[in-house]
Amino acid sequence: MEVPFNVLDRQFFKYQSEYEQKVLEVLRSGWYILGKEVQEFEKEFAKYLGVKNVVGVDNGLNALVLTFRALGIGEGDEVIVQGNTYIASVMGISMNGATPVFVEPDEFFNMDMKKVEEKITSKTKAILVTHLYGQASNMEKVIEICKKHNLKLVEDCAQSHGAKFNGKMTGNFGIGCFSFYPSKNLGAFGDGGAIATNDDEFAQKIKVLRNYGSEKRYYNQVVGYNSRLDEIQAGLLRVKLKYLNELTEEREKIAKRYINEIKNPLIKLPKVRENATHVWHLFVIKYENRDRLQEYLAEKGVGTVIHYPIPPHMSEAYKYLNIKKGKLPVTEKYAETVLSIPMYNGMKNEEISYVVEVLNEFKG
């Protein structure tokens, strides 16, 4: 049997007629940028998250870039971020001229809050937490640290749509930055992103920045960006948002089967923190000789991906930071041992069973 790592057409076909109808509606409306669909999506997603404002933007990276720009964080400032995050989180910081300062992850792959305070200097302006793989980070602890040291809190929610900490959704604690890249839990059919905030003034600043720095057409207050979410993607996201809880439950069912049925002592399964929920953007296992396991699974027809093989501090792009190999041992170890196995909406029961069976037969 062949089980691909991910297939995106199955989730499309599930609500095909609604998506197709929505695209036709937008095409026929004659209005394609910043119109009713974006406005309505912003309202509906804000309601879903339980946050006052959502501002749609063009992608997840720019949600972060605009957020740090609007916070006035740039040249000479430092932002604390976890070492094992997706590199876009780090780019959101450095594209504004600020310096990323890396903290090691904990056993849940999220920021190890015990190691944050030792990284704070007089230059530190903010903490960026990524709710990595779909699990909410320890927000209680990070909020305490931010209050104590007067730091801004930004959440990278690109993988955590709907995940909760203490019953409250991610994106609600600090400024929430979302991606709607097609493979994300709330994925569009192209690029998209959003910023969530309870601060009305901050939301207004983002609205100005995303549209050439203008509130009123042709009156430009600042040098801004073209970072708008378009009407077709917003319309499609409105359709998918109605089913997001259902889609999350489907992922939870797959995760539950993996956790209950994978019984190979060689393989380490992911753990979920007390008070946190996991929306299973990715199901990440660990094995000492990961490359061997990946090869074995490929031979058996099971697709896998490594999230991520090169931590940001060791990538070519961040060579200038001059952080040597060995400085972030937990991060580096994860990069060598993590492996993501198939997890997606529309995965069939027999496919899940096959992945389980093949993993249980793995002898090392």
Ligand X SMILES: *Cc1c(COP(=O)(O)O)cnc(C)c1O
Length of the chain (residues)? 364
Instruction: Count the alpha carbons within 13 Å of 13 in the hemisphere toward its beta carbon.
Output: 7
Q: Residue 5's closest CA among 353, 257, 347, 364?
A: 347
Give the one residue of 11, 42, 53, 60 binding ligand X; rule: CB under 6 A: 60
Q: In a 10 Å sphere around its CB, with 0-12 CB exposed, 13-18 middle and 19+ buried, how is residue 40 labelled? A: middle
Nearer to ligand X, 61 or 71 (CB): 61
What values do phi and psi take at 169, rounded to 5?
A: -75, 145
Considering only the stretches 53-61, 113-121, 138-146, 249-257, report the one whose residues sit in contact with ligand X under the rule CB under 6 A. Answer: 53-61
Minimum CB distance to ligand X, residue 178 (Å) = 8
Q: How much is the CA Rg of the chain, to the nearest whole Å?
A: 21
Residue 187, interface with ligand X (CB under 6 A)? no
Decide if 184 is catalytic.
yes
Instruction: Name the token pair of 258.
Output: 């993996």
Minimum CB distance to ligand X, residue 128 (Å) = 10
Minimum CB distance to ligand X, residue 93 (Å) = 11
Q: Residue 81's closest CA among 41, 52, 38, 110?
A: 110
Q: Which residue is nearest to ligand X (CB)?
A: 60
Site string for ligand X, 256-275 (x = CB under 6 A): --------------------
Give the one residue of 46, 49, 51, 88 binding ligand X; rule: CB under 6 A: 88
Residues 94-153 that bind ligand X (CB under 6 A): 130
Give the one residue of 26, 139, 153, 158 binding ligand X; rule: CB under 6 A: 158
Question: Would you list the DSSP string of 316-348?
Answer: GGGGGG-PPTTSSHHHHHHHHHEEEEP--TT--
Strand order in the sheet with 152-156: 53-57, 193-197, 175-179, 152-156, 124-130, 78-82, 99-103
* 244 close to 162: Cβ distance less than 8 angstroms: yes
Residue 61, interface with ligand X (CB under 6 A)? yes
Instruction: Name the token pair of 359.
Output: 């993993």
Give the one residue of 37, 156, 250, 351 binding ligand X; rule: CB under 6 A: 156
Dihedral sign from CA coordinates of 123, 83, 95, 222: negative
Nearer to ligand X, 193 or 342 (CB): 193
Instruction: Name the token pair of 294.
Output: 């990946």
Residue 11, interface with ligand X (CB under 6 A)? no
* 235 close to 25: Cβ distance less than 8 angstroms: yes
Considering only the stretches 54-62, 120-128, 250-258, 266-274, report the one whose residues sit in contact with ligand X under the rule CB under 6 A. Answer: 54-62
Residue 193, interface with ligand X (CB under 6 A)? yes
CA dist., res. 260 & res. 266, Å (int):
15
Nearer to ligand X, 59 or 345 (CB): 59
Catalytic residue (one of 125, 164, 184, 240): 184
Residue 155, interface with ligand X (CB under 6 A)? no
Size of the site for ligand X (CB under 6 A): 15
Minimum CB distance to ligand X, residue 186 (Å) = 11
Minimum CB distance to ligand X, residue 65 (Å) = 9
Residue 56, interface with ligand X (CB under 6 A)? no
Nearer to ligand X, 88 or 203 (CB): 88
**E strand or H helix that includes residue 297:** helix 290-299
Considering only the stretches 2-10, 23-31, 154-162, 256-264, report the one whose residues sit in contact with ligand X under the rule CB under 6 A. Answer: 154-162
Residues noted as catalytic: 184
Binding residues for ligand X (CB under 6 A): 59-61, 85-86, 88-89, 130, 156, 158-159, 179, 181, 191, 193
